[in-house]
Amino acid sequence: MSFDRSVKIAPSILSADFANFGQEIRAIEDQGADWVHVDVMDGHFVPNLTFGPPAVKAFRPHVKTFMDVHLMIAPVDPYIDAYAEAGTDMLTAHVEAGPHIHRTLQAIRAAGMKSGVALNPGTPAEAVTELLDLADMVLVMTVNPGFGGQKFIDMTAKIRKIRAAIGDRDIHIQVDGGVDPKTAPLVVEAGADVLVAGSCRVPGRLRRQTRNLWRQHARHPGQPDMSLTIAFDLDGTLIDSVPQIAASVNTGLAKFDIPALAEPTVKGFVGRGFPKLIEQVIAHLDLPADHYAPLHDTILQEYVTVPTPPSVIYPGALGALNTLRADGHSLTICTNKPYDATVKCLDDTGLAPLFDRVIGGDSLPTRKPDPAMLFAALDGAEKPLYIGDSETDAETAVAANITFLLYTEGYRKTPVADLPHSAAFSHFDALPDLVRSQASSV
């Protein structure tokens, strides 16, 4: 995957509810976190004590994005393999933690992780200039490490020096400490692209403000900002999931000795969320109402965990999404499919890295066509756009008063002419130009 220097938000779980880590990690990822940041402290290198490798290993199944582990410990080397085995994606060590940081970074990469090197506020930028070829990220501390909630220390001059030293190398600059909607633009303008949100638990708002700033700097001088936040429906819009859903439904029905349904029949039930699908299956088969709960749980379990015919990306969709990202647009998912099933589907199809935010059918108390889901997916964007395929999607866009583009080859049952939409397309090759034509009017 090509290097992505767009701004990423990495909320720290140090300020999470320790009794509900799974729910907390899911919540910050639902809000738009790109990475999950884990602060490891030993009570020696810094005056606080937090997590060890067993805790990080316990976090790993809950992290669907990227697990970024910041070691504030000394020594580092004896623990590198343990954090690799725990599932760490990026392991960052402090240049101040030992005399052989060069060897430490080599060992981190040798263990299969990306390597980061961190600098305390009192350590100059020059301390990492000879390490850049061994680092995937430089972490600039903007507080003295050890405690959350400290006041931001201005390190923008140091960030600029490091950015200049990096040049065109594929190295991130992360900032940790006192990052909030006021300080984030300062460090982004200086060259940072990964922001740790600690006491500030608002990754969605941080994302919107910092990414807008990054886009402004990424544009050519004089070029207007035409970037949008585009929410996509999933099933019937980007992927054909009917074979997978039908297989899961029929496998679940078989466990109750209920005859299978034809795939076209199941397709007719898709589009209003998993609970509604089960209701329609029960009504179609004239089953007692008390079958709902066991069928719902069994079929959902089959869908999320058991290998079935995979969902298929519609022709041209992957290329169109990559083009939209290259054009500077932020992409999100707004679907009635349950969140866990959505994340699994995005992972299985390789689409996950393209989306900044995912809102599933159980992320909020209500589902589409209630517009609350779409508002959550768009997260207050100034220039929103919604793309879907069905009557439900059209109703949602109307309720939200948001421009709607209709994909005509999905699961809709109503004639195109009878559905409210600003424009329609039948193949994804046409989508990037269609979005460009809409951008000036959104």
Pairing of strands 357-359, 8-11: unpaired
Average pLDDT of the residues in 73-89: 97
C-alpha distances in angstroms, 309 versus 276, 297, 346, 348? 22, 20, 15, 11
Q: How far apart are CA 424 and CA 142, in angstroms?
A: 48
Instruction: Tell me which residues are annotated as active site.
Output: 39, 176
Q: Which tens digits make up the pLDDT trace of 195-210? A: 988 754 444 444 544 4
Q: What is the pLDDT of residue 296?
A: 85
Amino acid at 397: A
Residue 398 has pLDDT above 50, yes or no: yes
Residue 154 has pLDDT above 70, yes or no: yes
Domains and CATH numbers, the chain: 8-218 (3.20.20.70), 229-238+311-439 (3.40.50.1000), 242-305 (1.10.150.240)
Q: What is the pLDDT of residue 41?
A: 94
Q: What is the pLDDT of residue 242?
A: 83
Q: Per-residue confidence at 89, pLDDT binned at 50, 70, 90?
A: very high
Amino acid at 201: R
pTM of the full predicted structure? 0.53
**Helix axes of 431-439 and 317-326: crossing angle, nearest 10 degrees:** 40
Q: What is the pLDDT of residue 32?
A: 66
Q: Between 239 and 341, whose confidence is greater?
A: 239
Q: What is the pLDDT of residue 273?
A: 67
Phi then psi dihedrals of residue 319, to 5 deg: -65, -40
Residue 223 has pLDDT above 60, yes or no: no
Q: How far apart are CA 7 and CA 219, in angstroms?
A: 14
Residue 395 has pLDDT above 90, yes or no: yes
Residue 372: name the closest of 236, 231, 163, 220 by CA.
231
Q: Which tens digits make up the pLDDT trace of 408-432? A: 998 888 899 999 999 999 999 999 9
C-alpha distances in angstroms, 398 versus 226, 371, 395? 23, 9, 5
